[in-house]
Each structure stands twice: as structure tokens, then as C-alpha cells.
Amino acid sequence: MPQVTELVELLIVILSAVAGVLLFERMRLPGIAAFLVIGTLIGPHGFALITTPERVQAFAEFGVIFLLFEIGLELPLQELRRLWKTALLAGFLQVGLTTACATGIAWQLGLSAVQALVMGGLIAMSSTALIVNILSKRRELHTPHGQCAVGILLFQDLCIVPMLAMMPVLAGDVELAVLPIATLIGKTLAGLVGIYIATRIVFPWLLNHVAQLRSLEIFSLVAFALVLGSSVGAAQLGLTLAIGAFIGGLALNASPYAHQVLAEIFPLRGVLLGVFFTAVGMLLDPSIALQEWRGVLFYIGAVTALKALVVLLTLRYLLGRTLRTALLVAFTLAQTGEFSFVLAAVAQDAGLIDTHLRQIFIAGSIFTLLVTPFLLQIAPWLANRLTQDAVQDAETSKAADEILHDHAIVIGFGLIGRSLVRVLQASQIPHVVIESNPHLVRQAQEAGIHVFYGDATRTSIMKLAGVDRAKIVTIAISDSLAMRRCIAMAKTLAPNVEIVARTHYITEIEELYARGANVVVAEEFEAAIDIFGVVLRSFGVSHPTIAQFTEEMRGEGYQALRTPSVAPLGDALAEVLQSTTPAWVEVPDHTPLSRSIEDLEIRKRTGATIIAVMRKQATFPNPAPDFVLAPKDRLLVLAPPESVQKLRVILGKRGDTDSNPDAA
């Protein structure tokens, strides 16, 4: 086989990666695992389509630079402020405990202290790219377990920077003493602060001037230069390229041009990152992995079990999360992350781990990524099986009084649940609340609300709330899977109870109705109706007409939007809009009038709605029924053409054409 050029090697890598991702997507497996497997197949230890993976890997390292720049650029600082307790406490405990436990196990298995510590750091990381992608597709990012998992992942991403900075210390390049280590830390911090300040000032200033040129080509080149510039600047200060890229992205995070920079580098980052993981797969030597099969199997089982157990115990017993949430997050984070491969490459280059140990790590990590989608599929089922009935608080464990009938059950004491409870209290409607978050339960108790702490998907909790005697059950939780189970449970225990469910997405409406919900409120659709109302009001459409439109829209639109096709508005809904054209009608100056709108019976006799009266320089919006009309008044009305003509007859003016409302 003739020697191929670097360009041809790169083309082989990209085409193979495309084929692998297409295949893995059909199998509902993660794209990252596809890159790793394809890299193994085409690498020197597979079919040898690529005989020099070092050349491809050198190019692919740009993918890591762009990935870290993007993470810094996209790091949701507002979200971090909101999730700082989860990110800081849960993230710190997860990384610290996992690293400590993994280090101890590795040391007991015969690794040196340094090797064991490196392996502990590699194992502590989970895959942000994979988990966020899966949670987003499953629409679970806003669920309690999704928010908790994202907070821990954000903390893990931030830990990459100090881990990379500590590699020279572990490698012995820096003397293991207080002064040298303090010098290294001080130099690193000074470099980080210097790069951040410089990029914070220079990058926005440069982008502001470039944006004024209105040239997308120049903006794209500058965006690319910023990524490389921050990386090279860090390297010149003795830091890594990846750290520089992360700081550069973080400096641009609050810039108004951040989204455009992200749009420019995102496609290139995806290609380079795919090439990077494919190059990592080329490093896997199946022959060594087979020789070390016991170590690979132990790595897969031990890492998955250890990470899941640490997360479960941390969330459940140290942070007081519900058992269901803790179990779901535990399964979500039980894999090795993409940054672990970056750390492993740096560790091997520094001589901290040998070839055999790295082969065990690479092979085991690939399998942990492969099994993650399957773990997330069985996690809800397993959580439901393992979750025992919650122990009730002494004051809230009493069942709803037998005399409590026709009451409302509110599942979830979040923003929507709290608002609903306030309305029920004001209306003196009997009600009980079910909530699984102990902090929210405490808030409800302090407010004197009859609340049950427990999982509403459990039969005993629903019975305690008196679901068989309730008039209505309102489900206001974010967990779509738990919501479906609540609906099914309520219908099983009380077939005649009315169930109102709230969901984020229109696409979930059909399944919730199929489960037994009587009414489903979709936040997406309600937001659309609100927007429609604002737009119609800006065009002078009256409030009664908008209310009629809204009712028609809800009655017809929910059914229309439950289908994937975009259907036109129905006849009744279109008629509401088409039959209420605004028109100006002038009261003739020769017509003596001393009668009110009510006396003239304008609405009854013509069907027209007067929404404003202009008299000289004064305007009277939404005139009352007792408003007395005067000659030369200009009436802004909403009515079909025939109604406008009838109004002119009443006012003594026949046959004139409508004037344009905008002409006023």
C-alpha cells in the first residue's frame, strides 16, 4: 500500500467518523463512543488504514482547545449563581470523594501513590458532552435530577484547570516542597489572572471594532485568532494551551458578541473534536486490552459502581435529596468523561502512567460511555423499584381526614404549585400538597399548609392524600416520567378524579392524555397565546375579541398542535380575525345626537364594537355604555363590513367607504 499523505489520512478519519456516527445514532449510542470505536478500527492496531496516528493526533489536539474555549464561552454564569450550592457542595463532594476512594483502591491494587492519584483524578470526571446531550433529547435538563447533574458536571469542568496545572508537580518537574509548589501555584494564578484581564479588555474591544466593519469573513478569522491567541499566550507563560483557551472563552462570556463567536467556531470545533476522539481511539491496542481483560472488566465494574455509589450517598445522606433524585443522578454520572482522555494523554507524556495502565483506562472508558445510554433507560425503572415509601414527618404523616371530600391535591410545591395553593387558600377550597423536596416541605409547613413529604408515584402517598375522595389532582412537577406515573397512579386509585397536568412541551400532550389526564396545559402553547394577544392588542383588537380568539385557539389549537404537521387555523378561529376589521366611522355634523351608546343599542342593532372615540384632540378608549356621542365624533369600531354599514345608517350617514384607521 503506497504511503498516504497527511491530507488523505485526515480525509479517511473524517469519512470513517461520519459513517461511525451515523451507525451509532441509529443504534441510539453516543457519538463520542462512535469516534473512539472507529478510531480503534482504522488505527494501526486495527485495519491499519492510519499507520501514523501521531500526525492525526497532533492536528486533533486543536479540538480540545476549541472545546475548552467553547466551555468557557458557554459557561452559564447566571445558571452557576443559581446552582452554586449544588455545583459547589455536590460537585466538590463528588470529585473529592470519588478521587479519594479511587486513589485508595488503586493504591491497594499495587499502583504507586502518584499513579493511584492520577487514576483517581481520571475516574472522577464524567462526560459533560454526552450527559447534556442525552438529558436534552429526553427533555430532562429542567428536572430535579437534571439540574443536579448539570451542577456537578459544571464543577467537574472547572476542576480540569487545576488538575492540568498539577501535572508538573506530580511528574517531579517541580520540587515537592512548600516553596516550589507555592511558586508554581502563584505563577499559575498570576498567569491566569493576567490572561483573563488582558482578554477581558482586549477581546471585546477588538470584536467591537471588527463588528463595525460588517464583514462576516473578518469576524470569523478574528474569532479563530482569539482561540489560538489565548492558547498561545498561556503557553508562553508556562501554562497549557487548553487552560489558555478556557480563560479566553471565559473572558468573552459576558460580551455581546459571545454568541456570534460561538456560532463561528462551533462547526469547526465539532469537526476537530470528532477527529480528536477518533485519534484517541487509534491509541487503543486491542491486543493489550485483551491481555489485560481482567483489569478492563474490573475498571468497568468498579468505576461504574463506585461513581454511582458516591453520588447516591452524597446526595441522599449529605445533601438531603430524595432517594429517587439521588438514584437518577447516580446512574447519570457513572461513566468516564471526555476530559479524562485529555488528562490521560498529559499524564502519559509526563511519565505518570505507563502504556498498559493507559490501555486499561482507554478500553474501560470506552465501555462506560457505551453503556451510559442503557443505564439511563433502566434508571427510572430501577429507581421506582428501589424507592421505598418515604418516612413521614410526625406532623404530616396523618392521612387526610375522612370527612375531607371534594378537595384538591397539588403535587409539587414549586412556583406553580405555590401560586395555585395561594388561590385555593383565598377561595377557601380544601386542599393538600404532596412534595418530595424536604426544603419545600418545610416551607409549606411553616405556612400552615397541609403537606405530605413523599413520592407521589407511590400508592401509599396518594392514599394518604385521599385521592379516592378528591375532586381534582393538579400535577405541577418538572419530571415528565414521574408525571406520567402520577397520572396513571391517580387514575388507578380514583378513576373518576379530574387530573390537570402541566408540561413544558406540546409534544408530551398526547401521551399525558393517553395516560388519563383530563386537562393538559402546555407552557409552550400558553406562551404562544400570550404573544398572540399582545400582537392583536397592538393592532387595536378589542379585549372581548382577543378573549374570544383565545378560547377558539385553546379549543382548536391544542388539538392542532398535538399533530406534527402545521395545520391552518380552523374556520371558526379565522372568522374571529377576518370579521373584525378596524374601521373609522364619523358622526355627521348635521345629525343632532344626545343619546348614549347604550340608548342607541349599537352593539345589539349592528354587531359593531366601539373601541375608541376621538373628539377633537381628545381620545376616549373603550367608552362606557353611557358615553354620549356628539356630531363630528370619530368612532374606531371593530366589525364586519355589513355591521359598519348598519352603524352608518343609524348615525345618518349612508354609502361612504371606510377610512383607513391608520389615517387618523
Whether residue 159 contacts residue 166, with contact meaning beta carbons closer than 8 Å, is answered with no
Whether residue 468 contacts residue 438, with contact meaning beta carbons closer than 8 Å, is answered with no
pLDDT tens, 261-297? Answer: 777 777 776 677 778 778 778 878 888 888 888 989 9
CA atoms of 502 and 455, how far apart (whole Å):
18
* pLDDT over 90 at 308, yes or no: yes
- DSSP-derived pairing of the beta strands 472-475 and 498-503: parallel
Distance from chain centroid for Cα 65: 24
CA atoms of 638 and 608, how far apart (whole Å):
6
Q: Which residues pair with 528 in a beta bridge?
A: none
* Per-residue cell: 600: 342607541
Cβ atoms within 10 Å of 254's Cβ, excluding its own: 11
DSSP state of 460: H
Q: Which residues pair with 501 in a beta bridge?
A: 475, 520
CA atoms of 583 and 610, how far apart (whole Å):
10
pLDDT tens, 543-581? Answer: 766 776 677 666 655 555 445 444 445 554 455 555 556
pLDDT band at 397 (very low <50, low <70, confident <90, very high): very low
Whether residue 98 contacts residue 120, with contact meaning beta carbons closer than 8 Å, is answered with yes
Mean pLDDT of 382-409: 58
pLDDT tens, 35-47? Answer: 888 888 888 888 8
pLDDT band at 317 (very low <50, low <70, confident <90, very high): confident
CA angle 429/435/440 to nearest 5° reads 95
Mean pLDDT of 447-457: 81
pLDDT tens, 615-662? Answer: 877 778 778 888 888 888 888 887 777 788 888 888 875 434 444 444
Q: For the chain, give the percent of residues with pLDDT over 70.
A: 78
Q: What is the pLDDT of residue 658?
A: 42
Q: Which residues pair with 614 in a beta bridge?
A: 619, 634
Element (H, E) at 434: strand 431-435
CA atoms of 56 and 281, how far apart (whole Å):
12
Q: Name the residue among 505, 504, 464, 462 with its Cα closest to residue 485.
A: 462
CA atoms of 473 and 487, how far apart (whole Å):
9
**How would you label 610-637 residue by residue, b for 16+ Cβ within 10 Å and e otherwise?**
bbbbbeeeeeeeebeeeeebeeebbbbb
pLDDT tens, 155-190? Answer: 887 787 778 777 877 877 655 566 666 676 676 677
Q: What are the counts of helices (DSSP H) followed by strands (DSSP E) for the chain?
A: 30, 10
Whether residue 417 contacts residue 433, with contact meaning beta carbons closer than 8 Å, is answered with yes
Q: For the chain, give the percent of residues with pLDDT over 90.
A: 10
CA atoms of 555 and 366, how far apart (whole Å):
50
Q: Which residues contact 593 (CB under 8 A, 6 or more apart)?
A: 587, 628, 629, 630, 631, 651
pLDDT tens, 82-126? Answer: 656 666 788 899 999 999 999 999 999 989 988 999 999 999 999
pLDDT band at 392 (very low <50, low <70, confident <90, very high): very low
CA atoms of 477 and 413, how far apart (whole Å):
8
Cβ atoms within 10 Å of 378's Cβ, excluding its own: 11
Q: Name the residue among 181, 168, 190, 341 with its Cα closest to residue 240.
A: 168
CA atoms of 224 and 235, how far apart (whole Å):
17
